[in-house]
């Protein structure tokens, strides 16, 4: 019940396309859902986050869609660029811990 | 630059040995987290400290231990090392004690441990 399931494991998208990464959780005690972006040789960094009382949050080309009843949330990257190539982690947070998904390696073809 | 400093960046050692990884959090951050990253398991939460006290425990093996010192730096001790302990170990820091407030952790660049 502490797991966060993330898919796909890897994703290849053409430049200008839409990248979609999905996550699911089971524990309803989670109440904050951040996404982290990690470039090779670097630590993860917060990209965007959402709380479950909101169904969608958009920051530039990045959008989180949240479905509370289904316990699912997803990251959409519009107009994907080669610079977006990185590993993306979804996460679910409660009072005393943040649980990360296993990550999605995204590669944007030029 | 996240402001979190981890040393060493790379470490190669043999099975059965003991190593210590060090983390200096961002200035002013009281919470320190340790994560293990492997290819097949993603980011696994190990342990959290807040202002010197253990706050939360995750999937940390008994062979591993950690502490946070009065100056807020933290050390992760890994002993009786096995091949499977080879991984990237990340330290992260946060201003908050609770992870559901802002959810933002600031990660260091990691310490890559190779056990031969």
- pLDDT tens-digit readout, B42-86: 899 999 999 999 988 988 999 999 999 999 999 999 999 999 999
* pLDDT of B96 above 70: yes
Q: How many CB atoms lie within 10 A of CB B65?
A: 14
- Per-residue pLDDT, A18: 98
Residue A98: pLDDT band with limits 50, 70, 90: confident
Best A7, A44, A54, A59 residue to mutate vs chain B (most B CBs within 10 Å): A44
> Between the ranges A28-32, A48-52, B108-112, where is the mean pLDDT highest?
B108-112
Closest CA to A88 of A55, A64, A56, A59: A64
* Chain A residue with minimum CA distance to B32: A97
Query: Mind telling me how many Å the CA of A36 is from chain B's nearest CA?
Result: 9
Strand, helix or coil for residue A82: helix
Helix (H) or strand (E) holding A105: strand A104-109
Q: Which two tokens stand for residue A1?
A: 């019940």
> How far is residue B20's CA from residue B78's CA, in Å, rounded to a whole number?
6
Nearest chain A residue to B41 by CA distance is A102
Residues in A closer than 8 angstroms to B56, CB to CB, are 96-97
């Amino acid at each position: 019940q502490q797991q966060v399931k993330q898919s796909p494991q890897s994703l290849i998208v053409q430049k200008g396309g839409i990248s979609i990464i999905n996550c699911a959780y089971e524990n309803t005690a989670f109440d904050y859902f951040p996404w982290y972006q990690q470039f090779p040789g670097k630590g993860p960094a917060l990209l965007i986050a959402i709380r479950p009382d909101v169904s969608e949050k958009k920051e530039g080309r990045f959008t989180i869609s949240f479905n509370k009843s289904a316990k699912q949330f997803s990251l959409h990257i519009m107009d994907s660029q080669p610079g977006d190539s990185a590993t993306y982690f979804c996460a679910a947070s409660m009072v005393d811990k943040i649980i990360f998904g296993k990550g999605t390696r995204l590669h944007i073809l030029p | 630059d996240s402001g979190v400093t981890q040393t060493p960046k790379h470490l190669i050692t043999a099975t059965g040995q003991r190593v210590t990884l060090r983390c200096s959090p961002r200035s002013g951050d009281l919470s320190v987290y340790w994560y293990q990253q492997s290819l097949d398991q993603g980011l696994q939460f190990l342990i959290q400290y807040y202002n010197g006290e253990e706050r939360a425990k995750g999937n940390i093996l008994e062979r591993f231990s950690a502490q946070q010192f009065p100056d807020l730096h933290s050390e992760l001790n890994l002993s009786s090392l096995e091949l499977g302990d080879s991984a990237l170990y990340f330290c992260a820091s946060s201003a908050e004690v609770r992870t559901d407030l802002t959810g933002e952790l600031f990660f260091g660049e990691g310490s890559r441990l190779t056990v031969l």
